Amino acid sequence: MRNFTWKIPTEVVFGRDTERQAGTLVRKYGGSRVLVVYGGGSAVRSGLLDRICASLADAGLYCRTFGGVQPNPRLDKAREGVKLAIGEGIDFLLAVGGGSVIDTAKAIAHGTANPETDIWDFWQRKAPLERSLPVGAVLTIPAAGSEMSDSAVLTDEATARKWGLSTELNRPAFAILNPALTATLPKYQVACGTADILMHTLDRYFNPCADNELTDAIAEALLRTVIANGPAAVDDPGNYHAMSELMWAGSLSHNGLTGLGGQKDFAVHQLGHELSARYDVAHGASLTAVWRAWASYVCGSNPARFARFARNVWGMEGGKEEALAAAGISAMVDFFRDLGLPTTIGALDIILTDGDLDRLADGCSRGRSRSIGSLRVLDWDDMRAIYEAAR
C-alpha cells in the first residue's frame, strides 16, 4: 500500500426532503450572500429552486440565482458567474444540479476569491490556487461525484480543451443527497451517470498496486453495487432504492476512498475528456466509447488485475488468466451496451479520419508533452492506437 493522505471535510446530508435544510447548512458554514448555480429549466419546473431559495430566505440569507450551466461545463459561463458574484458581494456558492453545475460553482468560487486572476490560469497551472469561497451542493444527478471530490473540470470551447483541476479547495463544505430529486431524469442521462460512477472507480482499481486488500475490496463492492442497481435506476429513475444506492456510490466513487494506497490510472478519463471537448458528447458516453479499446490495449501488461476483476466483480471462475481477463472486459462492455451506451466512437456518429486521430492524440498528450495512465503508461503513439481501435 502506497503512502496517502485522505481528508474529507464534506458533510453529507442524505434522504428525502433534505434540500429544505439548505439555508441552515449554508449559515453553518459561514455563508450570508449566496449565489445559487443551476443548469436548465428542470430545477425551476420541479419547484426545487423555489424550495432552495425559500430555505435560504428562512435562514435570513441573501440569494441570487445563476442558471444556464451546460454539460461539459463551459469556461465562459464560469467567467460570467465570477463577474456576477464579485458584483453581488457573494461569499458562498450553492450548486443545484449535477457535476457540471457543481464544477462551475467551484470555478466561480475560485475566481471570486481571486479577482486578480483569470480562472483558466488555475486550470492551466499558470497560477497557484491558494484560497477560495465555500461551496455547497444539492445533488440532482448521480454521476460525477463532484459533490465530495477534490476535482473540477472546465471546457474552453475556443481551444477545444477540457481540463481538470485537483485541489483540496475543490471539496464542498456540504452535500445534500435526496434520491427523490432524480425521478424525472431522462434514462440516457442516468445511464451516462452510471457509467461515470463505474469509471471513477475503474480508473482507480486498474492500477499496478496488487497488494492493497481493503481498498480493492471496497472498490469491488462499489462496482458490484452499481452493476446491480444501475439498470433498475435507468429503467425507472423514480426507483428510490436503486437511486439511493447509485447516488451514494457516486459520491464514494470519486472522493478518493476506492483508490487509497493505490496509484490512480485515469487514462480512460483523459482519453474521454479529449473526445468530449472536441465533439461535445456526454461525458459518460465518451468514457464507454473508449473503455473497451483501452482495456484490450493494456490488459497484456497486467492480465492478473483484469482476471481479479472478472472473478471478484463478475463472479467468474475457472479458465486461464488471460481468458478470464478477456471475459471480464467483455462483461463490462456488454453491460455498457445493455444500458444503451456507445462502446465505440463510431456509435456516437463520429467518423474519425487519420488526421482526426492525430489531433485527438495531440490534444490528449498536450502536444506530446505528457504521458497518461499508471497500469500501463501511455505515450502519444499509444493514445492514437487506442483511439484508432475505438473508432
Question: How many angstroms separate the CA atoms of 342 and 361, rounded?
Answer: 20
Question: How many angstroms separate the CA atoms of 29 and 26, rounded?
Answer: 5
Digit-coded pLDDT (tens) for 316-355: 998 899 999 999 999 999 999 999 999 999 999 999 999 9
H or E element in which residue 362 lies: helix 354-364
Question: How many angstroms separate the CA atoms of 165 and 150, rounded?
Answer: 8
> What's the pLDDT score for residue 41?
83
Q: What domains can you pick out in the chain, each with its CATH number?
A: 11-181 (3.40.50.1970), 186-390 (1.20.1090.10)
- Among all chains, which residue has been given the C-alpha cell 508533452? 369
DSSP state of 374: S
Digit-coded pLDDT (tens) for 370-380: 999 999 999 99
Digit-coded pLDDT (tens) for 228-238: 999 999 999 99
Digit-coded pLDDT (tens) for 30-62: 999 999 999 988 899 999 999 999 999 999 999
The predicted model gives 88-116 an average pLDDT of: 98
pLDDT surpasses 90 at 274: yes
> What's the pLDDT score for residue 319?
83
> What's the pLDDT score for residue 91?
98
Least confident span in 29-33, 110-114, 159-163: 159-163
Question: How many angstroms separate the CA atoms of 79 and 384, rounded?
Answer: 33
> What's the pLDDT score for residue 133?
98
- The pTM (predicted TM-score) of the whole model is 0.96
Q: Give the residue from 103, 121, 129 showing the smallest Cα distance to 254.
A: 103
How long is the chain?
A: 391
* Cβ atoms of 35 and 94 closer than 8 Å: yes
